[in-house]
Amino acid sequence: MMEFNSVKVEVCKMTIQPVTIIRVASLVMAALVMWLAVSKETSHKKRALDQFSSLLLTWALWFIGVKLLTTWPLVLEYPLSALAYPSGTLEFYLASLLTISTEFRRKEKHQTFMYEYILLLACSFFFFTLLSQLLLERGVLVELVLFFVYLAAVLLFRQVLIISALFSISAAAFAWVGGPPALMGYRMDLWFYVVISLAMFLLWNLEKRREVSCRSM
């Protein structure tokens, strides 16, 4: 009850949480890095940003919808409470699954911008962790190093699927030893990184088979 009362105060003030500002700043910085790092034509980079923004918007809408369901007793009394009530990994997981199911029919477009998508995510993770430590004094140094290595590998090498799989395995190992690293402020579970690593390895294997098939034709 004390927690709900604090949310009521936040809703009345309509304050924006600092972590939300850092998330937006991280995405903007990631877009700038992607624009400078990708050597393809301007039209390709614009389409990549447009598609990524559409994907992010879809996830955000699902995320808000899930928050309305998980906090419905509070929402009935204070409709704007979903904007101030802190969300957790449950909402993150559900919104991600719903986004994947929604975007599956557009998988060919996503495949076209696979490198740009993963670069944007890697940049966002790193900048969010860096800004959180500098401005909010949150997080640990190991997380910052982990995301920096991930970003550096994505920038230096084009094999982003296998790099992402190795990153997920490293994150799972880190979760096993000292607690799971956070993604944009959301503390993930160990199984999340295991599932991601398996999915990345599967996509990488399918990509290799497709390349072999194209060469043999």
Best CA proximity match to 172, nearest among 154, 195, 151: 195
List, for residues 153-197, the tens digit of each pLDDT value: 999 987 899 999 999 999 988 888 777 788 888 888 888 999 999
184: left (phi over 0), alpha (psi -120 to 50) or beta: left
Q: What's the confidence (pLDDT) of residue 158?
A: 79
| For residue 5, pLDDT beyond 80 | no
N-to-C CA span, the chain: 66
- Residue 75, amino acid: V
160 half-sphere exposure, CB direction, 13 A CA radius: 15
Percentage of the residues of the chain whose pLDDT score is greater than 70: 80
Tokens of 23: 């998330």
pLDDT band (50, 70, 90) for residue 84: low
Q: Which residues contact 61 (CB under 8 A, 6 or more apart)?
A: none
Give the number of other CB atoms < 10 A from CB of residue 147. 25
In angstroms, what CA-CA distances link 190 with 10, 169, 178, 186, 215? 32, 10, 11, 13, 38
More confident residue, 25 or 113: 25
pLDDT surpassing 90 at residue 101? no
pLDDT for res 112: 80
Q: What is the pLDDT of residues 139-160, one digit of tens each?
A: 778 889 999 999 999 999 878 9
- The torsion angles phi and psi of 85, rounded to 5 degrees, stand at -70, 130
Q: How does pLDDT run across 115-145, given as a tens digit for each residue? A: 999 999 999 999 999 999 999 877 778 889 9
pTM for the predicted model, two decimal places:
0.83
pLDDT at residue 77, rounded to an integer? 67
Nearest CA among 68, 66, 80 for reference residue 7: 80
Close Cβ partners of 135 (under 8 Å, ≥ 6 residues apart): 18, 22
Cα 189 from chain centroid?
14
**pLDDT tens, position by position, 27-63:** 999 999 999 999 889 999 999 999 999 999 999 899 8
What's the rounded mean pLDDT across residues 66-81?
A: 70
Q: What share of the chain is helix, strand, coil (3-state, %, to 5)?
A: 85, 0, 15
CA distance 144 to 150: 10
The overall average pLDDT reported for the chain is: 82
Check residues 217 and 38 and name the one with the higher pLDDT: 38
Residue whose entry in the numeric block shows the structure tokens 């909402």: 91
Q: Could you tell me the pLDDT band of residue 87, with boundaries at 50, 70 and 90?
A: low
Amino acid present at 5: N
Dist. CA 15–CA 84, nearest whole Å: 8
